[in-house]
């Protein structure tokens, strides 16, 4: 019955991925209903802690956007890119990585990509080069950011095993940075020079390529400035409390002293930061819940609600069989977990949902924490099928036509930089993980 029930989950994932958005959560609930009412499986507990952590982080990021903090960060990014136009293939992915790392969301890439495309074209650099690896970098940074929804999900699951945010960042920050630099090195030499590219020359001759747009100077308010620093202060506080447990208070519960969990730390700190930003920066409150960050973040919460609950129910019901079937393989070849993460993420299109879906199984199978953390960058498999928003946006923003989705779909601009980045990130992660954890 396990394989029949697993096929139901896979069908639900395929249907949800085809429609997209909050429907992923809905089909998760539908699959759960089939497992419970048709097959009689006992439903597991819904992932409430992870959902609440993500909600608090998304709320703070949405306040940051409403206060103008995102616009301020983009203006800083533009200044950096324009100072180093000839090295944009290496500078742009670093900027994309850092800004996603700081904001905790890849949505910031939507504002940076048009700047990258314009600066590259003005400098005579083939835009595909920095655009392709910058999109990949914005995804990789999610698995390094202390305030991303995916990090919140992983911390909640690994903390009981004695591995906190500090351990995760120790592995994933250098691993993902090495990965994107390797991808950038490939991109730097990829394709013809812009002045020799036939598609660009055709568009130029037909007048399809517009002259560089005049830059619109965005007035940065002091409220936007302060919102960024308040948000970053919250992120730093979370990292400190995660890496130095003594900073967290102790409580006596049932005559037993317990340390405040990182789940509660993240929730409380982000709610406090959001509240302080509202009071000091005075954004229009109605714009908080209508911002793109809030919409995307809450979509992720709903997806996790349905998908993770469905997956947990199946795993809990068949754990002895799954252990017997897979334990020897995953212990002998722990990198197989990375393969599973990659292909599920390519289907689900959510690092947080993939994390919450597969890591409970990895923990139950006894995969070493070092291997789990090292494999984590594999959840950035979005680029395999070029349907995710930032990949499509990268093609749209490049008016020269060098960034493209090929005739056979998979032969697109992101595929090779994405695979190089993933392989290097995971390889470096295993090296660091087994040496330090």
Structural domain of 264: 2-436
Count the domains in the chain: 1
pLDDT of 2 higher than 80 = yes
**Alpha-carbon span 228 to 219, nearest angstrom:** 15
Q: How far apart are CA 342 and CA 382, in angstroms?
A: 8
Cα radius of gyration (the chain): 22
**Highest-confidence segment of 10-14, 62-66, 303-307, 373-377:** 373-377
Check residue 410 and give its pLDDT: 79
pLDDT score for 216: 52
**CA dihedral (405, 410, 415, 416) positive or negative:** negative
pLDDT of 142: 93
Q: Which two tokens stand for residue 50?
A: 């992870």
Can you tell me the distance from the alpha carbon of 348 to that of 299, in angstroms, rounded to the nearest whole number? Answer: 12
238-265 per-position pLDDT tens digit: 888 877 888 889 888 878 888 888 888 8
**Of 121 and 208, more confident:** 121
What is the length of the chain? Answer: 437
Q: Are 331 and 366 in contact (CB under 8 A)?
A: yes
Give the C-alpha distances (Å, rounded to integers) separating 396 from 118, 405, 437. Answer: 12, 10, 42
Where does 69-221 have alpha helices with state H? Answer: 69-83, 88-103, 108-122, 128-140, 149-158, 165-189, 198-205
Q: Is the distance from CB of 341 to CB of 378 less than 8 angstroms?
A: yes
pTM: 0.82
The residues, ordered by sequence, that sit 6+ positions from 128 with a Cβ below 8 Å of its Cβ are 187, 190, 191, 398, 402, 403, 404, 413
CB 130 within 8 Å of CB 397: no
Residue that the structure tokens 């959902």 belong to: 51
Residues facing 250 on adjacent strands: 259
pLDDT at 211 over 70: no
Q: How much is the average pLDDT of 204-217?
A: 68
Mean residue pLDDT of the chain comes to: 87
Q: What pLDDT digit, counting tens, does each position of 272-294 carry?
A: 999 999 999 999 999 999 988 88
Residue 340 predicted with pLDDT over 60 = yes
CA distance 88 to 80: 10
CB atoms < 10 A from the CB of 165, how many? 24
Q: Is 413 helix (H, G, I), strand (E, B) or coil?
A: coil
- Percent of the chain clearing pLDDT 70 (strictly above): 97
Cβ atoms of residues 130 and 89 within 8 Å: yes
E strand or H helix that includes residue 257: strand 256-259
56-102 pLDDT, tens per residue? 888 998 999 899 988 888 888 888 888 888 899 999 999 999 988 98
Are the beta carbons of 91 and 84 closer than 8 angstroms?
A: yes
Q: Which two tokens stand for residue 328?
A: 């020897």
pLDDT tens track for 168-204: 999 999 999 999 999 999 999 999 998 899 988 888 8
DSSP state of 351: H
- The pLDDT value given to residue 79: 86
Tokens of 113: 């990509």
pLDDT at position 125 is 92
The first and second tokens of residue 84, run together, are 């180093």
pLDDT by residue (tens digit) across 109-162?
877 888 898 889 888 899 999 999 999 999 999 999 988 888 988 988 898 898
């Amino acid at each position: 019955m396990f394989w029949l029930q697993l096929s139901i989950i896979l069908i639900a994932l395929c249907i949800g991925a085809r429609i997209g958005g909050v429907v992923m959560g809905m089909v998760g609930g539908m699959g759960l209903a089939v497992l419970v009412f048709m097959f009689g499986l006992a439903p597991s507990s819904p992932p409430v802690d992870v959902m609440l952590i993500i909600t608090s982080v998304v709320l703070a990021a949405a306040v940051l956007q409403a206060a103008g903090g995102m616009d301020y960060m983009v203006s800083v990014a533009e200044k950096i890119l324009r100072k180093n136009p000839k090295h944009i293939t290496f500078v742009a992915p670093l900027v994309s990585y850092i800004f996603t790392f700081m904001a905790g969301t890849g949505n910031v890439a939507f504002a940076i990509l048009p700047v990258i495309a314009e600066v590259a074209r003005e400098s005579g650099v083939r835009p595909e080069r920095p655009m392709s690896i910058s999109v990949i970098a914005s995804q990789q940074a999610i698995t390094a950011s202390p305030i991303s929804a995916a990090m919140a999900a992983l911390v909640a699951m690994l903390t009981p095993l004695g591995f906190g945010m500090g351990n995760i960042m120790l592995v994933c920050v250098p691993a993902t940075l090495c990965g994107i630099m390797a991808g950038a090195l490939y991109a730097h030499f990829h394709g013809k020079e812009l002045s020799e590219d036939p598609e660009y020359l055709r568009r130029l001759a037909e007048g399809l390529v517009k002259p560089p747009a005049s830059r619109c100077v965005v007035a940065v308010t002091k409220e936007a400035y302060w919102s960024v620093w308040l948000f970053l202060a919250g992120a730093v506080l979370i990292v400190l409390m995660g890496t130095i447990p003594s900073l967290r208070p102790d409580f006596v519960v049932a005559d037993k002293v317990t340390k405040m969990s990182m789940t509660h730390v993240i929730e409380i700190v982000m709610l406090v930061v959001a509240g302080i930003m509202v009071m000091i920066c005075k954004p229009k409150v109605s714009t908080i819940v209508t911002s793109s960050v809030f919409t995307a973040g809450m979509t992720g919460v709903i997806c996790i609600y349905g998908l993770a609950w469905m997956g947990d129910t199946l795993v809990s019901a068949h754990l002895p069989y799954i252990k017997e079937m897979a334990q020897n393989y995953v212990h002998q070849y722990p990198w197989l977990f990375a393969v599973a993460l990659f292909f599920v993420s390519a289907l689900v299109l959510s690092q947080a949902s993939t994390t919450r879906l597969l890591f409970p199984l990895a923990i139950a199978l006894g995969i070493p924490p070092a291997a789990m953390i090292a494999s984590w960058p594999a959840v950035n498999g979005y680029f395999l099928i070029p349907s995710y928003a930032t990949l499509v946006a990268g093609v749209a923003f490049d008016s020269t036509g060098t960034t493209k989705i090929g005739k056979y779909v998979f032969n697109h601009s992101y595929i090779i930089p994405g695979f190089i980045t993933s392989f290097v990130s995971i390889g470096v992660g295993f090296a660091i993980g087994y040496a330090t954890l």
